[in-house]
Amino acid sequence: MLTRKQHELIRFIQARLEESGVSPSFEEMKEALDLKSKSGVHRLISALEERGFIRRLPNRARALEVLRQPDDVTTKAPARAANSNSAAAAVIRPPEARPAPANDVIEIPLHGRIAAGVPIEAMETSATLPVPAALLGAGDHYALEVSGDSMIEAGILDGDYALIRRTDTARDGEIVVALVRGEEATLKYLRRENGRVRLDPANAAYEPQIYDPREVVVQGKLAGLLRRYH
């Protein structure tokens, strides 16, 4: 059994994740539950974590994942009266302007420059890249430094950092990291036609690459882009 405050906290976290994709800050949780200090939030989170309801995500300054809800709690429950001081009234709100994303920074692996002849696995290093959490969303991510101009018409330039969500599946038209014949990692549009896989550049100067499906393995798809100006 969970306490009332534990119920309210897990509802608040889940509602915020559904609303913005980013878990609330400790200050926001303290205010929502009308607690006097952040230490109370720490105790509630620890209790929920020990009981398997939430977990803290690694490599993040502040991030929580709801693993399961109590059987008698749903995030769609109606809010209480507007004049209530209970945290439950702050948990589920009617639709309104979305708040600005939290300024969390996530350290994700930086696997170097994506270049022909180098599989992603061979590029793995201990280097990391700090990335605003709002650019990512759910899932496991890594970053690659873009080499070349084959995707410039998609706004992806040489020296950009491509933020990649790890996955081995993708839909037609998505930009993916594809490993070709176990040797060459490339960033291209993925398309399937006539039983073949076509990797399309976003530059009219380059030709599409067509392969047998067995020759191409998706290693992730583009989730975001970072660019530094010098």
Tokens of 69: 């809800």
Residue found by looking up tokens 């994700």 in the block: 108
20 closest CA partner among 84, 54, 63: 63
Catalytic residue list: 150, 188
Length of the chain (residues): 230
Can you read off the two tokens belonging to residue 148?
Answer: 């070349």
Considering only CA atoms, which of 186, 184, 140 is closest in space to residue 166? 140
Closest CA to 151 of 227, 229, 61: 227
| Cα angle 157, 175, 156; round to 5 | 10
